[in-house]
Structure 1
């Protein structure tokens, strides 16, 4: 169970709110010294000033030294200390601001009436409803309990300044907002029932219930929750709106399709910075999400792949020459495609050049690979450098891929799940060689086998684990092994 400490300059600063046993003055918190108590602790630093070497500054500094999770962190305090630093992160926020202005006539009118606009953020929430979405984004970039935001009007509105704000400077309306936002931010810590206190650690599973092809179906997610709780992990399903709550947890398991360009990578980075056990970790996402990187890595370590070439957007002569030398058919790939999307088969030079022209709109480099038709692809699930499950994914009927998107709806082929010991040894050995280059997380290695030849197609950092598919052989034990690995790593972190 996570312990909560709310730190204020003086206990009198809390007079507007209900008394709390979690409340402590900055002096008393700092004077406690470093203790050997291993109970996970969340510190909410509400001192009125975070200036360098102030009580507020030392509260966050020593909280981190004591292994406590603290908001704001020292990094956030330092970033907010100078506009020359936090200004580097304002471009995307200003872009979001102006998109909101263009979309909302109400907002346009309100902004035109104000030559200067200033709002208060309480844990990413604001009373100024038209900018509530922007407030959430600002809190993700600059996690600080209370922030004052001022805006500069013009053809393009700009965020003029970000400043931490003290409790004593809140209006009565903002005090009400703060109380609600604080409860929302820390509700998981505050509202532990007696029944839930039996869990030693907290694990968040990031999901998107609207995703068309999620890595795990609802039944598999239920199995993960059940297995985790059996082992002493309190498992919660969270979504992208819960970014600011990550520090409440001891671990993060990403069960959305990962991408460098969306929130999944930001969640992984945030979890890593906060000291959580995280799968997929950001390094694995970086290494697996780009097929160009992966192909270069595998080639440099002499891991068997289909014959592979890179196509470069601005080298048309080389492209023409290579296209004339290839043995057709070939497979053309966009570097960041998933679930067979961004992959096309070219039967001849003309088809290759036409497809490449279209794909070069999205990437400066493309991959073209030897076409190897097999009835099925192997998928070897690997956890912490050990094989976890093995599946054969069969091609969609009348199609050359596992997934067929050409009909307007996504179709997939059949599958067979096998005990790992029944898989050809060369397939398992090749899969393990490939994942050792990536890390020690959870991976799914796709391989093709033709006679004695075994090649790696790709390594997925976010492999499917669906009920009655990948778990068809191990059943509950698959989820127990998966949750057991999270538990093992959490225990190791606590001992460290």
Structure 2
């Protein structure tokens, strides 16, 4: 197999006159096969679009899960999805924009100018340095950037462009730039650093099922004081003040395309220590990504299939009924359904496919309780048993009227948890990163299996802290402090 592949949405997107290169359709790549096993693959995602939960989005998502080096990454896709997000990264570029456009003669560029950038090249010598900087910030194969004169020249809009949107002249530039790009080593941008000790905790006092209740939030405040950290509770309206702090702890349910992700992204761009970091949110909130990641790394899990509309009924050949069907993004047992037969499977899938091009089918494994192992900084922190609600198959039961019922719990000391459960949880969490995660597992006849990894696990007073007490909160704040200390030491 080639060291790199180019993904297109339809075979016809790669025109007959284009160079002979290893081109693969998105459908074939998503199906896995040899691509899942190839660990050293470089993937150029040239799908028609990267809208959230689209085929283009999933190609980058699963490429990352398989350990492939992909462009654009899911994080870049999210950066480009909203002006509110990408504007966080364009401020530093605007000085270069003014330098490049400000010297042009009056009248040549009245108030707006457009530039098409392919792999960091634009074909105009005077703009090449700017094009390279924009590409280094937003590593996407083809970008169309609009500059606007608003007192000074600034980036007004930036978006990914499909290969079908190029002119014949731009196609020639594209292939020249592609050849150059494939000859380069893969590099990641460096993170920025800051060195203060003020912690912001993002929460929503009106959230129905928050990851931390008010008593737990106050425990964080007290633990912070004990460690010499100023802890303040902030809300969505405090977005403009975020840079005043040096660390962020998110205690509001995280979602993509949501202000929680914007907070994480801004905190990370400011060089703050942050839990949950943007990459952890991206990786954990989508169950399709997690399924592929666990499969690629041979982590035990229930039988699982990633389904598209055209292969929906293939699930019957792999997974016996009842089949658990999941929307890629959900929390607290929401967006998870059980299909008893084909009719229910088709009915549930029809509804879910309106929200996502891919959904998840999973083997139904009933157990009296699920294990939740809390992992912090690649070490086990706490353990709980969450029992199923009465006469129901989930730990949280939603009635469709906005009400919910939770099963009972039992908090367990880490050294009392079966070693195989802890070991499996650590393997799964360490694939995501070094933040704070809650790994859900079931113990079956074939051993522990991972159901999912949560980036924003529940931490409620009297539940998850029942064994460690205040030590739970001190450990989490201590991890943020340790990160800041390491950064300060590294800067000396």
* TM class, shorter-length: 0.5 to 0.7
Match of 2:347 among 354, 377, 382: 354
Q: How does 1:153-192 map to 2 (within 5 A)?
A: 162-163=150-151
SS of residue matched to 2:199: strand
Distance in structure 1 (CA, Å) of the matches to 2:377 and 2:407: 29
Match of 1:320 among 313, 316, 321: 313
Question: Is the 1:203–1:235 contact (alpha carbons within 8 Å) kept by the matching residues of 2?
Answer: yes
Match of 2:440 among 406, 429, 446: 446
Distance in structure 2 (CA, Å) of the matches to 1:236 and 1:84: 43
**Residue 218 (structure 1) aligns with:** 214
1:296 to 1:233, Cα distance in 2 relative to 1, 3 A: same
**Residue 463 (structure 2) aligns with:** 469
1:367 to 1:71, Cα distance in 2 relative to 1, 3 A: closer
Residues 276-306 of structure 1, C-alpha deviation per residue, up to 9 Å, x if partnerless?
Answer: 0001111111110100011001100000000
1:86 to 1:493, Cα distance in 2 relative to 1, 3 A: farther
Residues 346-387 of structure 1, C-alpha deviation per residue, up to 9 Å, x if partnerless?
Answer: 111111111111110001001000000001000000000000
**Residue 421 (structure 2) aligns with:** 427
**Residue 374 (structure 1) aligns with:** 367
Does residue 331 of the first structure (1) align with residue 324 of the second (2)? Answer: yes
Residues 465-485 of structure 1, C-alpha deviation per residue, up to 9 Å, x if partnerless?
Answer: 100000011001111111111
Distance in structure 2 (CA, Å) of the matches to 1:260 and 1:455: 26
Residues 27-48 of structure 1, C-alpha deviation per residue, up to 9 Å, x if partnerless?
Answer: xxxxxxxxxxxxxxxxxxxxxx
Q: How does 1:100-119 map to 2 (within 5 A)?
A: none
Residues 192-232 of structure 1, C-alpha deviation per residue, up to 9 Å, x if partnerless?
Answer: xxxxxxx9710111111111111100000000011011101
Does residue 74 of the first structure (1) align with residue 74 of the second (2)? Answer: no
**Residue 245 (structure 1) aligns with:** 241
Residue 242 (structure 1) shift: 1.4
Question: Is the 2:319–2:362 contact (alpha carbons within 8 Å) kept by the matching residues of 1?
Answer: no
Question: Is the 1:390–1:419 contact (alpha carbons within 8 Å) kept by the matching residues of 2?
Answer: yes
Distance in structure 1 (CA, Å) of the matches to 2:356 and 2:462: 37
Distance in structure 1 (CA, Å) of the matches to 2:368 and 2:294: 24
Residue 79 (structure 1) shift: 6.4
1:71 to 1:459, Cα distance in 2 relative to 1, 3 A: closer
1:85 to 1:276, Cα distance in 2 relative to 1, 3 A: farther
SS of residue matched to 2:432: coil
Match of 2:302 among 306, 311, 327: 306
Distance in structure 2 (CA, Å) of the matches to 1:471 and 1:415: 12
Q: CA RMSD in A?
A: 2.7
1:203 to 1:261, Cα distance in 2 relative to 1, 3 A: same
Paired residues in the alignment total 322
Question: Is the 2:300–2:448 contact (alpha carbons within 8 Å) kept by the matching residues of 1?
Answer: yes
Residues 157-193 of structure 1, C-alpha deviation per residue, up to 9 Å, x if partnerless?
Answer: xx9864479xxxxxxxxxxxxxxxxxxxxxxxxxxxx
Residue 239 (structure 1) shift: 1.2
Question: Is the 2:264–2:276 contact (alpha carbons within 8 Å) kept by the matching residues of 1?
Answer: yes
Question: Is the 1:224–1:479 contact (alpha carbons within 8 Å) kept by the matching residues of 2?
Answer: yes
Structure 2 stretches lacking a partner, 5+ long: 1-87, 102-110, 117-146, 154-194
1:225 to 1:354, Cα distance in 2 relative to 1, 3 A: same
**Residue 199 (structure 2) aligns with:** 203
Residues 71-100 of structure 1, C-alpha deviation per residue, up to 9 Å, x if partnerless?
Answer: 995345456887768999xxxxxxxxxxxx
Does residue 487 of the first structure (1) align with residue 478 of the second (2)? Answer: no
Q: Deviating runs (4+, > 3 A) in structure 1?
A: 70-73, 75-88, 159-165, 321-326
Distance in structure 1 (CA, Å) of the matches to 2:219 and 2:114: 42
Distance in structure 2 (CA, Å) of the matches to 1:240 and 1:76: 27
SS of residue matched to 1:437: helix
